[in-house]
Amino acid sequence: MITFYKVIVFIHIFSAILGMGPGFILTTVVKSGNTMTELRHSYKIRHKLHIFVMIGGILLLITGLIMGIMSPYLFRTFWYNTSLILFLIALAIGPVMLSPRSRPIKALLASHVGEDIPEEYFRLSKELFRYENLENIIFLIIIALMILKPF
């Protein structure tokens, strides 16, 4: 018989795949554009993938907290608390660091005429991608903590 806890663990792992998997390629998707048309299309794909990232991320947080409530000893473990803190930091990076840096890119994509990609885009995207890569590193650390469960 499957217990409620096992169902929550299943949803948690499934959410990690659903949310984090596409999250790791968001930067790669838009780096493939060589013209403004391709770049605009890449950002549309990126937006659709980001929906999976958001749904998966919300489910990860909810199921992770439910597991902690069902097994309170988790709140006394290093790996669980560190993962939770890092996850909250990663969530905060979105509105604090990524959103302000993606707005000018969106405006540039909407207003630029022609197929050439302006130099301004490369400067803006380089800064955005730096923070996205930081977020990906945080998620890799979280995954390692979840697998290894040190301390």
- Report yes or no: 93 and 134 within 8 Å, Cβ to Cβ: yes
Report the interhelical angle of 99-111 vs 36-70 (nearest 10°).
150
Number of structural domains (the chain) is: 1
> How far apart are the C-alpha atoms of 30 and 14, rounded to whole Å?
25
> How far apart are the C-alpha atoms of 15 and 61, rounded to whole Å?
9
Indicate the pTM of the whole model: 0.91
Binned average pLDDT, 10 residues per bin, the chain of 151 residues: 91 94 93 94 96 95 97 96 97 95 97 96 97 96 95 83
Output the pLDDT for position 2: 82
Q: What is the pLDDT of residues 65-91, one digit of tens each?
A: 999 999 999 999 999 999 999 999 999
Output the pLDDT for position 32: 87
Output the pLDDT for position 151: 83
Please name the amino acid found at residue 22.
P
Domain range for 82: 4-148
Output the pLDDT for position 89: 97
Residue with the two structure tokens 């013209």? 35
